[in-house]
Structure 1
Amino acid sequence: MKTFAALLALSLLPAALPARAQGPVAPGAINDYPTAARADYVFACMVGNGQTQDALNRCSCAIDTIAAAVPYDAYEKAETILRMRQQVGGYLAQEFRTRAANTILEQLQQAQAEADVSCF
């Protein structure tokens, strides 16, 4: 079974790679993401974008861009919300469909859109 990071990366990243990528976010950006979380994202991204050096560079750029825009605790919350929306039904799922939950997801989606423009 795929990890949630894999599902997140696959659901948010484009299916095809454009011709060129720009570099990662400017140096000095906040780096509070654990290495394992970054690696999970990159591996999942590469599944959807090819197992190439180019995909590795683009996917690494994407997680760096996301990490610069979204603190890790917010990223974790967004992962949890998405996971619970996929796995939990009924009244329990309603706790993860609130305005606050949607706001957390929108922050991640905006960061992902920025990563798509910058890296893909």
Structure 2
Amino acid sequence: MRSAVPVGPIVATLIAMIALCGPARAEELNDYPTSARAEYVFGCMKANGETREAIAQCSCSIDVIASIIPYERYVTAETVLSMSQVHSNLGTQFRTSEQAANALNDLRRAQAEAEVRCF
């Protein structure tokens, strides 16, 4: 039994739509620069052993984090972590700011999710 609607044009249209959506979606999901991912993996491996298994777990971890929080928010949280260690008035501002605490909490939640999924 033949369909009344020609399937060829429908399939071609769907393939074209998928092709157009594919690259944009990949960019959205991969907004972390390679250097940031590598830096995370190196630090993670130092903390979790420098084994083949650690490479896989740490790579998985940054992928999970990247899927949860945008790169801009990740940079903010990393900056807060770094600056909060400064023993001056500037460090105090980073330790007591509500915005800084929120960014740090977002990162910690993403890291906890990554821990569950990857380790």
Query: Percentage identity across aligned positions?
Result: 49
Equivalent in the alignment of 1:16: none
Instruction: Tell me the secondary structure at the aligned position of residue 86 of structure 1.
Output: coil
Partner Cα separation in structure 2 for residue 80 and residue 104 of structure 1 = 10
Work out whether 1:68 is the aligned partner of 2:67: yes
Gaps (5+ residues) in structure 2?
A: 1-24
Aligned residues: 93
Taking the TM superposition and a 5 Å limit, the aligned residue runs for 1:26-105 are 30-89=29-88, 91-96=89-94, 97-105=96-104
Deviation of 1:31 (Å): 1.1
Larger relative CO (CA 8 A, sep 6+): 1 or 2? 1
CA RMSD of aligned residues (A): 1.6
Deviation of 1:53 (Å): 1.0
Deviation of 1:87 (Å): 2.0
Instruction: Tell me the secondary structure at the aligned position of residue 50 of structure 2.
Output: coil
TM-score, normalised to structure 2, is: 0.72
Where does structure 1 differ by over 4 angstroms across 4 or more consecutive aligned residues?
none
Q: Decide which structure has greater helix share.
A: 2
The amino acid of 2:39's aligned partner reads D
| Greater radius of gyration (CA) | 2
Partner Cα separation in structure 1 for residue 55 and residue 91 of structure 2 = 35
